[in-house]
Amino acid sequence: MIKRICLASVLLLLYCLLRPLWSGTDSPVASYANVPLLEHYDLIVAGAEPEGIAAAVSGARNGLKTLLVDTRPEVGGLMTRGWLNSIDMNYGPDKDILNKGIFLEFYKGVGGDAFDPAVASRVFNSLIAKEKNLQVFLNAVEVQPLAMNNTLNGLKILLPKGEAREIRAQRVIDATRDADIAAAAGVPYSLGFSDCGRPDEYMAATLVFRLKGVSLIDWLKLELNLKLSKEPNSGVKKQSAWGFSQIMKLYQPTNSRLLVRGLNIGREKDNRISINTLQILGVNPLDYNSRMEGRAIAEKEMPILTDYISKNIPGLSSAVLDATAPELYIRQSRNIYGLYRLSVNDVLENRDFKDRIAMGSYPVDIQATSQSFRGDIIGKPKLYSIPFRCLVPKEVNNLLVVGRSASFDSLAAGSARVIPVGMATGQAAGAAAALSIERGLSFKEMSGIPDVIKELQNRLNAQGMKLYSFSYEIPCADHWAYPGLRFVRQWGMASGGYNNNYRLDDEMPVVSFINALSRMTGTKVPPAAMIYTRGETLTLTNAAQIICCFKNLKFSQPEAFLYLKLAGFWEPDLLKRIQDEGKISRGAGYMILKRYAEWNPPTSANQGGQN
């Protein structure tokens, strides 16, 4: 035993000596304050998020005199202000990095998919500094659209000293976190999960925090523990580590609005690490007071959470709280309605579009919204594309919207919201702005001309992106109940995980059926349907009674089944399938739900035993 310990110590020491040390130097934030604003630009990009930087750099590279404007004091948004220092990568079927172009320049500049926020700041500023056509204005007090007759003509910028400037532009790109410019200009949008029957629900916000006092030896202990761990969904790289979900599951937050999950850890310089684990429920991302309240709740928890981590996570026994990110990590707010709205079925059916301008492959990852819903992986696409029409908003001209608030259904955004995809849409928008000006076409007109879209795609490929047509099979499409799966999946009521296993042939629990009807109809579960227990399985007769409950019809189970039969609810093929299988599987239950949504009961149907 002693020999083994000594050997392990020697190996650890050798590893410390031979392992190259990562180092980075803080780069001062570039100063843009003294650059006077012009009266007119070809392109204005609102929002210096990563997606906005990509859009502005792309516009400048395509010959447009471009202004990038933000209300915050530095560029980089979520990465430099929210301290998100790791990237949810998208890989193609051949395992290469899917999103190239400007995103790949950034990726190589920061040294991979995990990095110090200070390095991200330096790389973003470097990308900007190379473009002579690009000007940046930060610390604006407020930015508003200049619109007339549903056409955006520029932005009104309120300066720190109270002066307001109206800056004209031929084209505008909204890269703000919440599509603020589009919303103020009158573009329609949905909020949170309201588009799938969950009003007032948003994915949890996160406050990233930093610990100090984690030496190289400490980090190596943490690495070694994770490498020896058999815990699923854990791993370690040079500058990042993730896992410890079983340990963190035992932590009990002091506030019911908080959740913790496994640790996502980023290694920075000077013996510091950043941690993304604490989720804040019930934050309205569009309400300043709600954001501040959520932040205060999280900050109050930080010392207690840090103490737990130092006592329970190998290698972090000497870690102490250092700081918290300047801003919350907000995952979701608005999603605009564009000429096309990407759906979760588009994503999970690996759909390609002729007007593709970006590509994605990240899982549909829905984070927690409440104590009762801790998150879900709805499915994992092989590859899908995003059409140009998703960037073109309805009802307002001269405007494109990029990033997580583009025209995606809330569930589709579970995949499309990630930064590599967002930066790809930004690059596409910058090039599209230039092409639309050159051709004298509106964005809506562009979207309907195949030759112009092809020219845009060729331009993007020539500028480093990789867009191409593809075709892949649709998981589960050969199952008889696939139409039902498609239907319930758009409501977020089917979970396939990373392997797209929707368990269509498993028996369906009655509670799942009831909850699905409640979601679809936007109504509370009727008291008469609450008699069913969580472990009870679904049958034809209790399904019939539950359906009648939602129609405010009071029947016994046999009466309910007969009523629905006489009213033409039961489709013969579906009824025969269920009777042959002798159960209601999840697939069959999904088909019944689909039938319910499509069914229009005859008003003259015999209502038998109603009372």
Question: What backbone phi and psi angles, to 5 degrees, belong to 390?
Answer: -70, -15
Both 579 and 536 in one domain: the answer is yes
Where a domain ends, among 401, 432, 462? Answer: 462
DSSP run (H or E) holding 191: strand 189-191
Strand, helix or coil at 353?
Answer: coil
Please report the sign of the dihedral spanned by the C-alpha atoms of residue 555, residue 558, residue 562, residue 568: positive
Strand, helix or coil at 596?
Answer: helix
How confident is the model over 225-263, as pLDDT tens digits?
998 888 888 888 888 999 999 999 999 999 999 999 999
Are 365 and 347 a contacting pair, CB within 8 Å? no
The mean pLDDT of the chain is: 91
Residue 161 lies in a domain: yes
Residue 30 lies in a domain: no
How far, in Å, CA of 280 to CA of 291, rounded? 10
Are 90 and 431 a contacting pair, CB within 8 Å? no
pLDDT for 33 equals 58
Residue 16 lies in a domain: no
How confident is the model over 107-127, as pLDDT tens digits?
999 999 889 999 999 999 999
Residue 25 lies in a domain: no
pLDDT for 518 equals 93
Both 54 and 83 in one domain: the answer is yes
How far, in Å, CA of 22 to CA of 320, rounded? 21
Both 54 and 152 in one domain: the answer is yes
**350, amino acid identity:** N
Residue 20 lies in a domain: no
Residue 85 lies in a domain: yes
DSSP run (H or E) holding 41: strand 40-46
Quote the pTM value: 0.91
Contact partners, residue 132, CB within 8 Å, separation at least 6: 60
Residue among 601, 583, 565, 559 at smallest CA distance from 510: 583
Strand, helix or coil at 182?
Answer: helix
Both 239 and 347 in one domain: the answer is no
Residue 213 lies in a domain: yes
Own/partner pairs for 194-200, CB < 8 Å, 24+ apart?
A: 194/410, 195/335, 195/409, 195/410, 196/409, 196/410, 196/411, 196/490, 196/491, 196/492, 196/519, 197/491, 197/519, 197/520, 197/522, 198/369, 198/492, 198/519
How far, in Å, CA of 513 to CA of 589, rounded? 7
**Both tokens assigned to 133:** 């056509």
CATH of the domain at 193: 3.50.50.60
CA distances from 234 to 29, 219, 259, 548 (A): 34, 15, 19, 47
Q: Is the pLDDT of residue 32 over 80?
A: no
How confident is the model over 278-312, as pLDDT tens digits?
999 999 999 999 999 999 999 999 999 999 999 99
**Both tokens assigned to 516:** 């699905």
Q: Is the pLDDT of residue 20 over 80?
A: no
Number of domains in the chain: 3
Q: How many CB atoms lie within 10 A of CB 26?
A: 13
Contact partners, residue 208, CB within 8 Å, separation at least 6: 82, 83, 84, 85, 274, 275, 276, 324, 325, 329
Residue among 536, 530, 543, 528 at smallest CA distance from 578: 543
Both 454 and 524 in one domain: the answer is no
Where a domain ends, among 431, 462, 493? Answer: 462
Residue 408's domain comprises: 40-197+332-462
* Strand partners of residue 44: 67, 172
Both 74 and 179 in one domain: the answer is yes
Arithmetic mean of pLDDT, 340-353: 98
**CA-angle at 48, arms to 43 and 49, nearest 5°:** 125
Read off the pLDDT band of 5 (50, 70, 90). Answer: very low
Both 193 and 215 in one domain: the answer is no
Both 287 and 409 in one domain: the answer is no
User: What's CA 172's distance to the chain center, in Å?
Assistant: 23
Contact partners, residue 292, CB within 8 Å, separation at least 6: none
* Residue linked to tokens 């609005």: 257
Own/partner pairs for 21-27, CB < 8 Å, 24+ apart?
A: 21/216, 22/238, 22/239, 22/267, 22/269, 23/269, 24/115, 24/116, 24/118, 24/119, 24/268, 24/269, 25/118, 25/269, 26/118, 27/118, 27/119, 27/121, 27/122, 27/125
Both 120 and 164 in one domain: the answer is yes
How confident is the model over 535-574, as pLDDT tens digits?
788 999 999 999 999 999 989 999 999 999 999 999 999 9
Burial degree of 371 (CB within 10 A; 0-12, 13-18, 19+) = exposed
Residue among 76, 114, 362, 125 at smallest CA distance from 241: 114
Residue 151 lies in a domain: yes
* Residue linked to tokens 């039938």: 595
How confident is the model over 411-440, as pLDDT tens digits?
999 999 999 999 999 999 999 999 999 999
Where a domain ends, among 302, 324, 346? Answer: 324
Both 375 and 236 in one domain: the answer is no
Both 313 and 337 in one domain: the answer is no
Both 491 and 443 in one domain: the answer is no
Give the HSE-up count for residue 234: Cα atoms under 13 Å, Cβ half-sphere. Answer: 20
